[in-house]
Structure 1
């Protein structure tokens, strides 16, 4: 709940988003590389794997109708 409150503009979260965001992104990209079985080159601006397009399926899922975030 602390994280949600911070997102809504409440007190800052215990973990600084400026630090935790990039750290989490790096760890998740490690999982993408592991699952794809390839060393990946990440384009952070486009949020895409540059050298292994098949790995992009682990980045974003297409949701069925009726399911949104």
Structure 2
């Protein structure tokens, strides 16, 4: 873990030493990729959750009839 933290400290120092435009050019693709990945996971989880709720409601409506 110490090696990773030392590496991360070096990356932070390198990134903060860059001009603002270069920082933006380096950080934005990473942030956008992470946001896209998180959105895909949440979309899948929400879609499966909605399917599950519909299935449960459909099964409940069959019991009431």
TM-score by length of 2: 0.35
Greater fraction of residues in strand: 1
Larger Rg: 2
Greater fraction of residues in helix: 2
TM-score by length of 1: 0.33
